[in-house]
């Protein structure tokens, strides 16, 4: 290969700076839209909550003290994949939590952390079971989230929060943080946001039925739904709910909706 050919090959392998900048700008717009969607859903009061998205070899993350409903591209912090600050405002103090969620499932490219009312309230109660704080009351939470373990309390911003995620032997895409809120990851920002909304609804329903004679979804149906939708569920479906009568649908062999479908309304 001639020197000219080698230089041409090298240049072709390098990313185009304009294309890279455009990609980062697009990711930033999606993150801004995600923040506004979370506020519109009532999940991020005041300046609470933070969102990040992995964009190639960088993370875009909401800056410290920002309000998710009033985000602008200039409010986003740029980090490398190890969490080093590369540009923009100082990132949220929950960097370690976000990095741990990305490490837990490398296929996921977005993380949402909110202090939504129902998730916070449920995180202040004893969990339904060892593997999920949220009981299997509706199929929608099973389809969008799966099991939701309750992680022990550490102060907000403490790097130990990331260690709690990484050290947990349970697979999960969402967890409740004791006396704090929820963290959710997803394949992209839209799925992370939708899963966060579904988790808040599941927590609300769990609170509304707290202390009542609940009718749980039958264990075989829990396993069938989570398996069909690729959601984690590792414990017995009726663990922690032995006093509740499980609803047993007519058949556990029904065909699940097409991927991407959610609630039937």
Per-residue pLDDT of the chain (265 residues; tens, 9 = 90+): 555 554 444 444 554 443 444 456 788 999 999 999 999 999 988 778 999 999 999 999 999 888 898 998 889 999 999 999 999 999 999 999 999 999 999 999 999 999 999 999 999 999 999 999 999 999 999 999 999 999 999 999 999 999 999 999 999 999 999 999 999 999 999 999 999 999 999 999 999 999 999 999 999 999 999 999 999 999 765 555 433 333 333 333 333 444 444 444 4
φ, ψ of residue 30 to 5 degrees: the values are -65, -40
Q: Clarify whether 140 is annotated catalytic.
A: yes
Separation of alpha carbons 223 and 208, rounded Å = 24
φ, ψ of residue 87 to 5 degrees: the values are 180, 170
Separation of alpha carbons 3 and 11, rounded Å = 12
Rg over CA atoms, the chain: 20
240 token code pair: 């922690």
- Out of 126, 140, 198, 201, pick the active-site residue: 140
- Out of 94, 198, 200, 201, pick the active-site residue: 94
Report pTM. Answer: 0.81
φ, ψ of residue 51 to 5 degrees: the values are -135, 145
Q: Clarify whether 102 is annotated catalytic.
A: no
């Amino acid at each position: 290969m001639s020197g000219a050919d080698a230089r041409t090959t090298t240049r072709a392998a390098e990313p185009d700076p304009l294309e890279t900048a455009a990609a980062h700008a697009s990711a930033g717009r999606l993150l801004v839209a995600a923040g506004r969607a979370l506020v519109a859903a009532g999940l991020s009061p005041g300046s609470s909550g933070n969102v990040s998205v992995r964009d190639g070899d960088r993370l875009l993350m909401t800056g410290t003290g920002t309000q998710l409903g009033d985000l602008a591209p200039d409010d986003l912090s740029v980090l490398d994949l190890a969490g080093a600050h590369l540009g923009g405002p100082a990132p949220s103090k929950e960097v370690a939590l976000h990095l741990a969620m990305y490490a837990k499932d490398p296929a996921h490219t977005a993380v949402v952390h909110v202090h939504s009312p129902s998730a916070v309230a449920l995180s202040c109660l004893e969990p339904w079971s060892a593997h999920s704080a949220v009981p299997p009351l509706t199929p929608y939470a099973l389809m969008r989230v799966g099991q939701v373990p309750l992680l022990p309390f550490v102060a907000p911003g403490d790097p130990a929060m990331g260690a709690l995620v990484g050290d947990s032997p349970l697979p999960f895409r969402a967890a409740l943080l004791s006396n704090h809120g929820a963290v959710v990851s997803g394949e992209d920002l839209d799925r992370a946001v939708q899963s966060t909304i579904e988790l808040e609804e599941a927590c609300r329903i769990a609170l509304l039925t707290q202390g009542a004679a609940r009718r749980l979804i039958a264990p075989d149906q829990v396993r069938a739904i989570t398996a069909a939708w690729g959601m984690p569920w590792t414990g017995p479906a009726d663990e922690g709910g032995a006093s509740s009568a499980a609803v047993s649908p007519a058949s556990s062999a029904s065909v699940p909706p097409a991927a991407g479908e959610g609630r039937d309304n």
